[in-house]
Amino acid sequence: MKRNISVRIAAKFKSIIRKIGTVFRQERTRELFTFLGFVLLSLIFWFMQGLNEDFENSFEIPVELRDVPDKTTLINDLPTHIEVRIRDKGPVMLGYAIEGLSPLQINFQEYDKGGSFFRLSPSQLETILRKSLRATTTVVSIIPDTIKVMYTHNAGKRVKLVVKGTASTTPQCVLSGEMTADIDSVMVYGDQHSLNRLKEVYTTAFDVKRLNDTLRTVVEIKKIPNLRIVPEQVTVTIPVEEMTSKTLEIPIVPQNVPRGWTLLTFPSSVQLSCMMPFSKFAAVEEESFLVSVDLSDLSAGNSPNKLCVRLLKSPEYVRNIYLSQDSVDYILEQKRSLFTEPADTVAVSIPDTI
């Protein structure tokens, strides 16, 4: 069985070889391959001729700052890359394209003269760049053509961080606290005079809307010219909670009642409904509110049938407060004295003598 399969495979292979030989023996096929051969030779000659000409091309080269002392802090950000345009013969440019160019390595200690910055001119950049170029290569342009390095050897100063931003929630939620960053202060580096004047550092301003859950977001710290802030960004937490409702029976407390008189209200309490963050539900009690009627509403000659109910105190985190009624009936009466005849009348208004 295996022998029969091997014989069939060999026969099939020979058949394919014969068909290929037949095709190559055809005159049109020979002419086609002859034409393609001349085209290939022409391309080779054209390519070799082109290699002897000058070519220009641009390359992006990484920038590296080396040998920076441990106690030195950079104030400004250096460019991550520079764009270099160079010109040379074809074979050299082909080598650059295949192998790439070495990074632009700036030796910090070579240019540090004990000040607070140094600047690399176009000629200095070209001098550094030429260490990785061939002698025949011409540097056409460098972008940027100048690099400034600002630094400080000062230890820096820790400064308070202030979160600057606004936030709003959906109607069924509420901000349940202040917006806070994951750190309360940052390190600032620069000249001593600027550090002495600096009291606070701020985040960049932001505005988020229609929050329905606690949000944690990364926010950049606002930059200050000629100073370095570490870290450059922080995580800000905006606490958001769902609202829940609660109903309480709050007693009505009379205000401004003259000595010797008693003010009774009907009813003596009102139902108060309100919304609050879920975490504050247990903290909201009757004592959290003050509901009152004010006797000064009864001016001389003016005795309304009802007294207006006012809410005088409530927690700041409580929202949507609703009282079951906005006014109540009342009775004003004079207190009985142990040394005088008992009063046999009930007053419904303040006498003119009060």
69-104 pLDDT, tens digit per residue, is 988 999 999 999 999 999 988 788 888 888 888 999
Q: Looking at the structure, do residues 124 and 178 belong to the same domain, yes or no? A: no
Domain end residue (candidates: 216, 238, 260): 238
Shared domain check, 278 and 205: no
Give the position of tokens 């450059």: 232
What's the pLDDT score for residue 348?
41
pLDDT given for residue 332 in this prediction: 86
Give the pLDDT of residue 290: 96
| Owning domain of residue 44 | 2-51
Question: What confidence score (pLDDT) does residue 24 get?
Answer: 55
Residue 233 is assigned to a structural domain of this protein: yes
If asked whether residues 182 and 208 sit together in one domain, one would say yes
Q: Which of 103, 131, 152 lies at the terminal end of a domain, its last residue?
A: 152
Do 15 and 65 sit in the same domain of this protein? no
Q: Does residue 325 fall inside a structural domain?
A: yes
Is 259 in the same domain as 231?
no
Inter-CA distances, 336 with 71, 330, 351, Å: 86, 18, 16
How many independent structural domains does the chain possess?
Answer: 4
What is the predicted pLDDT for the residue at 21?
Answer: 61
Answer whether residue 273 is part of any domain. yes
CATH number of the domain residue 302 falls in: 2.170.120.30
Domain contains 234: yes
Alpha carbon 262 to its chain centroid, in Å, reads: 61
Task: State the Cα–Cα distance between residues 198 and 131, nearest whole angstrom.
Answer: 44
65 and 19, same domain (yes or no) = no
**CATH number of the domain enclosing 232:** 2.170.120.40
Q: Are 18 and 80 within one domain?
A: no
What local confidence, expressed as pLDDT, does residue 260 receive?
Answer: 87
How far is it, in rounded angstroms, from Cα 154 to Cα 241?
A: 44
DSSP 275-326: EEEGGGTTT--GGG-EEEEEGGGS-TT---SSEE-EEEE--TT-EEEEES-S
Closest CA to 229 of 193, 192, 185, 180: 185
Q: Does some domain include residue 148? A: yes
Of 221, 238, 255, which marks where a domain is finished?
238
Q: Which pLDDT score, from 0 to 100, does residue 155 have?
A: 87
Would you say residue 144 lies in a domain?
yes
Give me the pLDDT at residue 350, please. Answer: 43
Residues 63, 146, single domain; the answer is yes
Asked if 108 contacts 149 with a C-beta cutoff of 8 angstroms, the reply is yes
40 & 13 share domain: yes
| Contact indicator for 311, 279 with CB cutoff of 8 Å | no
pLDDT at 42: 65
As averages over each run of 10 residues, the pLDDT of the chain (354 residues) reads 62 67 60 69 63 82 92 91 90 85 92 88 92 90 93 92 94 89 95 92 95 95 94 96 94 91 92 92 94 81 78 91 92 71 42 36
Per-residue DSSP letter, 130: G
Q: Residue 340 domain-assigned?
A: no
Residue with tokens 């010219």: 225
Asked if residue 342 is part of any domain, the answer here is no
**One domain for residues 321 and 281:** yes
* Residue 166, pLDDT score: 94
Which pLDDT score is estimated for 13? 64
* Alpha-carbon span 298 to 300, nearest angstrom: 7
Residues 75 and 42 in one domain: no
Neighbouring-strand partners of residue 188 = 157, 229
> How much is the pLDDT for 295?
86
Give the closest residue to 274 by CA, choosing from 310, 314, 316, 320. 320
Query: 226 and 251 share a domain?
Result: no
